[in-house]
Amino acid sequence: METTLVLVKPGGVSRRLNGEILRRIEARGLDIVGLKLLNPSREIVEEHYAEHRGKGFFDDVVNYLCSGSIVAVAVRGTNAVKAIRAMMGATNPLEATPGTVRGDFALTIDDNLTHSSSDPEAAERELALWFPEGLV
């Protein structure tokens, strides 16, 4: 069993894609074990994207995550990390396969709708950051 983090970014929330994304996660057979809507602080978003600090897109992606409400989802299941990454699709939606969230609903990398943890270590770090109170 693995637990991973999905964030529905502000573009996904404003386009009312929360239900669609949660539906796909559950239809795949994965369990939602943490769920909240929040307006994140700049501090938590900068910590979340710490690996990208100094890169050209860092300020833009931090501003984007802080531009509206997001939904944080903790997802548990067998091979959940890889399964969720595959379901969300490639970072650049133009390279994301149809049938993935990004391949079906996004067009540009700066508005690619979701975040998902890249590996189990990242998942553990990110879940502690977004769900410090713990999971169900």
Amino acid identity of 97? T
Residue with nearest beta carbon to Mg ion: 118
Q: Which of 127, 101, 132, 134 is nearest to 2 (CA)?
A: 127
Residue in 24, 48, 102, 115 annotated catalytic: 115
Amino acid identity of 52? H
**Contact region with ligand CDP (CB under 6 A), list: 13-21, 26-34, 52-60, 128-136:** 52-60
Q: Establish if 110 lies at the interface with ligand CDP (CB under 6 A).
A: yes
**Contact region with ligand CDP (CB under 6 A), list: 15-23, 31-39, 112-120, 127-135:** 112-120
Q: Establish if 112 lies at the interface with ligand CDP (CB under 6 A).
A: yes
Min dist CB 118 to Mg ion, Å, is: 5
In this complex, which beta carbon is closest to ligand CDP, that of residue 69 or of residue 118?
118
Q: Which of 117, 113, 116, 119 is nearest to 101 (CA)?
A: 113
* Alpha-carbon distances, residue 34 vs 37, 46, 73 (angstroms): 11, 21, 5
List CB contacts of 65: < 8 A, sequence separation 6 or more.
Answer: 7, 9, 10, 40, 45, 48, 49
Site residues, ligand CDP (CB under 6 A)? 52, 57, 60-61, 91, 109-110, 112, 115, 118
Q: Which residues bind Mg ion (CB under 5 A)?
A: 118
